[in-house]
Amino acid sequence: MTKSQFMATLGEMLSISKKDATEKWEAFVDMALKEVRSGGEFNLPGLGKLVKKDRAARMGRNPLTGASIQIPAKTVVKFRVAKSAKDSVL
């Protein structure tokens, strides 16, 4: 499903225009990202949660040359799928 199809379907489900659905979705995404940035996680009941995770620095290998390289520490965002969502799909 493309973003355009998603927005059209969301608009139909909520009985609002596609433009209004897009604005509401973008506000929801902004709220989720702001919450992850400040609190570290955002829970979507029944679907999963967005989690901010710190990765430690580690040694890696350049696949082209085989040389060892230092990979710096960084912060990433992960999505953990809820057990109920996994069970309903599988």
Residue ranges covered by each domain of the chain = 1-39, 40-90
pLDDT given at position 39: 83
Q: How far apart are CA 83 and CA 46, in angstroms?
A: 8
Q: What type of residue sits at position 29?
A: V
CA 5 to chain CA centroid, Å, is 19
pLDDT given at position 83: 93
Rounded mean pLDDT, 51-69:
94
Query: Is the pLDDT assigned to residue 68 strictly greater than 90?
Result: yes
Do 79 and 49 form a contact (C-beta atoms < 8 A)? yes
Domain 40-90 has CATH 3.30.2350.10: no
Cα 25–Cα 80–Cα 84 angle in degrees, nearest 5: 90
The string of pLDDT tens digits covering residues 12-38 is 999 999 999 999 999 999 999 999 999
